[in-house]
Amino acid sequence: MGLVYLAEDPAIGRQVAIKTINLENLSEPGQEQVLRDRLMREARSAGILSHPGIVTIYDITYAEHMACIVMEYVEGTTLYDRMTAGPLESKELLSVLEQTAAALDYAHGKGVLHRDIKPANLMLTADGTVKIMARCWARHRIWLRSKSPASPWPLLPTNSLLLSLPTNW
C-alpha cells in the first residue's frame, strides 16, 4: 500500500520512519477523501498510545495526492522475516508472545484495537524488544446481546446494546 523511508527529523535530529501512501489513481471518485479520513482516525487512535511495545506516531500530513505518516524508527527485523530464517527457540517465542500481549493489553485498556496483528506487523530489535507496528489501530465499540426480547433502549436494535468507550479520557 505504500513505501517506508528512513529520514531525520530536522527539528530535533532523531531518525524517523516515514510511510508514504499514494492516494492518486483510486478507482472511485471520493475514495481519496474516505482514505484520508480513515488514516486520520487511525493516527488519532494510535496517537493516544504511549507504550514501549508500540511504535509511536509523531505526525500525519498530506501533500497533493500523498499521505505521509511520520513515526518512530525501529531498527530490526519483522517477526515474519525472523520466522522465515528458522524456528524460534521456546524462550524467544514466549518473550515475543508476552511482550505482544502486554502491548495489546495496554492498547485495549485505552479503548484501542489493532486490526491486523500478524508477524509482518511485529518488529524485533537486536535486544529482543518487540514493537507493534503503527497503522491499523482503531477505537473500539462492543456489541453485547441482551437476553431480553424487549429492549429498554428503543433507538437501538432489539436484543442489542452498544457500549462505546468515553472519548474524553
**What is the mean predicted confidence (pLDDT) over 61-85?**
89
What are 102's three cell numbers?
Answer: 502486554
Give the chain's domains with CATH numbers: 2-141 (1.10.510.10)
- How many Cα atoms sit within 13 Å of 94 on the Cβ side? 3
Position 82: which residue type?
R
Burial class (CB in 10 A: 0-12, 13-18, 19+), 138: middle
Alpha carbon distance 47, 134 (integer Å): 10
Which residues carry out catalysis? Answer: 116
Cβ proximity of 123 and 76 under 8 Å:
yes
Instruction: Kindly report, residue by residue over 29-50, the tens digit of the pLDDT.
Output: 777 777 777 777 777 777 788 8
pLDDT band of 5, cuts 50, 70, 90? confident
Give Cα 15 distance to the centre of its chain: 20
Q: DSSP code of 121?
A: G
**Cβ neighbours of 134 (radius 10 Å):** 25
